[in-house]
Amino acid sequence: MAKTGKEINFKIYLRILSYLKPYVKEMVLVILLSFAFIVASTLSMWLVAPVVTTFFSEEPIQQVENVEESTSEELTPHGTLNLNEWLKTKVYEFIPMDNRFSTLKWLCIFIFATFLFKNLFLFLEYFWITYVEQRVVKDLREEVYDKIIQQDLGFFHKHKTGELISNLTNDINQLNVALNRSITKAIRDPLMIIIYLVILFNISWQITLIAVTVLPITGFIIRQIGMSLKRRSTRVQERIADITTVLQETISGIKVVKAFAMEEYESTKFRKKTSEHFRSIVKQVRMWRIANPLSETIGASIITVVIWYGGSLVLEGGTLTSEDFIRFLVILFAMMEPVKSIGELYSNIQISIASGKRTFDILDAPRTVIEKPNALKKIDFTSGIVYENVSFSYQQEGKIVLDGINLKVDKNQKIAFVGSSGAGKTTLVNLLPRFYDSDKGAIKIDGVDVKDISLADLRGLIGIVTQEVILFNDTVANNIAYGIPGYSIDKIEKVARLANAHEFIKDMPKKYNTVIGERGMMLSGGQRQRLSIARAILKNPPILIFDEATSSLDSESEYLIQQAIENLMKDRTVFMIAHRLSSIINSDRIIVLEDGKIVDEGTNEELQQRSGRYR
């Protein structure tokens, strides 16, 4: 049976709240502090009435002479405890009633004390709830980040970079705001309303029934506004993701933008996205801001009726005294604030559900490359690699990229792959470290299926140098030793020399401690590539993959890098993808791919003689 939208939304919110579980002790403390705040707040308002009576009454307030004699007054007509009368009895026991000045003095002391404790409890409540909220946001952000970086490459084909960044920042920030506004309200406000209603019923159940008629009306309005807010909040987060995507693409591709003089085009595209976000956010805020005025207007109409009806009872000298009526109005007015907050609470819950759904979509995204529970440990490479009838297609496209690949590579062989763009060269080598899993067939290292080997050990056997070099905003030394902690600067310098990188590094301001900027933008393409090769040499893997490692370099840089590659390839098994003949001419075997199939193979001389596709 399909789940309804309400059931799904409820489960999403419960899942958000489940992140509070590690902080149960802190939440219990928050609840106790909330209760203490409510008690102090209620008592401070309750004491306003005797102050007013002291000012305007000609006679001092009559002190209860015998508590036992007042017991019947402390009971409701149904025989239950009348909280209002009980409070009167207890307060008047401590306040001298012999003259109005003395009464006023002690009432002021009591009111000051209650306000002091009320604000102390409020501060402590905010302190601990903020601690819990920020811990939850931290935990959730770290979980989403871990999930993203552990996903296989297919996941990143389905999700735009800007969308993922927006989810990790904006959506979780939105959850933070919603939690900040809702957790305290969800704990304190319902409890406050209940206590206020109990006192109001004890003062006058007839007037209270009139007052509570506002609740169903307000509840219906709040529900309609909340549902609209959820839809609008989803659209706002989608627009933010669009803005982040455009920003990320423009900045990362700024060279292309400038080369094609596309600044105005990109500005227009960005303005279009910000305009869409502006319209969405205005609609969301407009709907959000209308909740409070509507609730307050309905509440004001009810209070007007209460003042008229209750005032009539007082003037007629009925069952309601002027002191109790003042007390009723003060508490009723105070109750309007948590009632309005309940409206905000529902709106914030809807916003958090919208952001939570986008966040949990990331957390629940399945992984296609999964390590087996009892995966084998493998730290050496002894004989060779075999592709057995391997086929593969990208799920979102459905097109077969590799079809029935059979290939055997002995240890220390240098294998080159050639073919037109889209022939499947990069995909074929990407299956070896399990960036993707094949649809059919098997890939084996030393006779062991790569799917049976632990991912860390499998990828530890393989070094990769690609055309697109990924460097980080860190020092030269840390970039070379990325993922390989504990190496001395002497070892790093040694591999830099082998990669023909030491000469330019020594001319940098802080040499190996120079920070090279985001993506290594302070370096030339050839320099970045040599750092990438130095990184691979330091890792010292038995298997190497070169994917168009020299295709975008000038001849001088290519010569230096080709030397570095020769140093790196010694006594290793090499998979090389290249378009330049100079890069592959000395390979032991050259594999020709077309439309995902191996159509020929041999040495350079053999293929030159017989293969038209190769020539």
> What pTM value is reported for the model?
0.70
Any residues with CB less than 8 A from the CB of 374 and at least 6 apart, and which? none
CA-wise closest residue to 330 among 54, 47, 521, 133: 47
- The full length of the chain comes to 615
Token pair, residue 320, equals 């309601």
Strand order in the sheet with 462-466: 462-466, 543-547, 573-577, 414-418, 589-594, 597-602
Please check the confidence at residue 602 and state whether its pLDDT lies above 80.
Answer: yes
Any residues with CB less than 8 A from the CB of 354 and at least 6 apart, and which? 174, 230, 231, 233, 234, 237
Token pair, residue 303, equals 């209070």
Q: What is the pLDDT of residues 12-42, one digit of tens each?
A: 888 888 888 898 899 889 889 988 988 888 8
Which pLDDT score, from 0 to 100, does residue 406 have? 92
Please check the confidence at residue 75 and state whether its pLDDT lies above 50.
Answer: no
CB 399 within 8 A of CB 414: no
Least reliable range by pLDDT among 225-229, 281-285, 331-335: 225-229
Helix (H) or strand (E) holding 243: helix 214-252
Please check the confidence at residue 450 and state whether its pLDDT lies above 80.
Answer: yes
Least reliable range by pLDDT among 61-70, 124-133, 159-168, 406-415: 61-70
pLDDT band at 68 (very low <50, low <70, confident <90, very high): very low
Please check the confidence at residue 65 and state whether its pLDDT lies above 70.
Answer: no
SS3 510: coil
| The three-state (H, E, C) secondary structure of 416-462, written as one string | EEECCCCCCHHHHHHCCCCCCCCCEEEEEECCEEHHHECHHHHHHCE
pLDDT band at 80 (very low <50, low <70, confident <90, very high): very low
Q: Say if residue 18 is exposed, middle or buried (CB neighbours under 10 Å; 0-12, 13-18, 19+).
A: exposed
Structural domains of the chain, ranges and CATH numbers in brackets: 22-62+97-363 (1.20.1560.10), 384-610 (3.40.50.300)
Phi and psi at 575, nearest 5°, equal: -110, 120
Any residues with CB less than 8 A from the CB of 383 and at least 6 apart, and which? 410, 411, 446, 447
pLDDT band at 2 (very low <50, low <70, confident <90, very high): very low
Please check the confidence at residue 79 and state whether its pLDDT lies above 60.
Answer: no
Q: What is the pLDDT of residues 107-165, one digit of tens each?
A: 788 888 888 998 999 899 888 888 888 888 888 888 888 888 888 877 887 777 777 88
What mean pLDDT do residues 211-229 have?
67
Pick the more confident residue, 240 or 461: 461
CB 130 within 8 A of CB 53: no
Q: What is the pLDDT of residues 517-558, one digit of tens each?
A: 777 777 877 788 888 888 888 888 888 888 776 555 555 556
Mean pLDDT of the chain: 77
Hey, which residues does 589 pair with through a beta bridge? Answer: 415
pLDDT band at 77 (very low <50, low <70, confident <90, very high): very low
Maximum average pLDDT range among 76-90, 447-461, 509-523:
447-461
Which pLDDT score, from 0 to 100, does residue 84 have? 65
Phi and psi at 72, nearest 5°, equal: -65, -30
CB 85 within 8 A of CB 73: yes
Which pLDDT score, from 0 to 100, does residue 488 have? 81
Hey, which residues does 386 pair with through a beta bridge? Answer: 408, 444
pLDDT band at 491 (very low <50, low <70, confident <90, very high): confident
DSSP 32: H
Residue with tokens 């006594």: 571
Amino acid found at 409: V
Helix (H) or strand (E) holding 401: strand 400-410
Q: What is the pLDDT of residues 87-110, one digit of tens each?
A: 667 666 666 666 667 777 777 888
Phi and psi at 404, nearest 5°, equal: 65, 45
CB 210 within 8 A of CB 305: yes
Q: How do strand 384-393 and strand 440-445 relate by DSSP bridges?
A: antiparallel
DSSP 483: T
Which pLDDT score, from 0 to 100, does residue 70 have? 44
Which pLDDT score, from 0 to 100, does residue 352 have? 77
Which pLDDT score, from 0 to 100, does residue 389 have? 92
Least reliable range by pLDDT among 234-243, 368-377, 469-478, 507-516: 234-243
Contacts within 8 Å (CB) and 24+ apart, 277-281: 277/236, 277/239, 277/240, 277/242, 277/243, 280/232, 280/235, 280/236, 280/239, 281/236, 281/239
Any residues with CB less than 8 A from the CB of 569 and at least 6 apart, and which? 414, 544
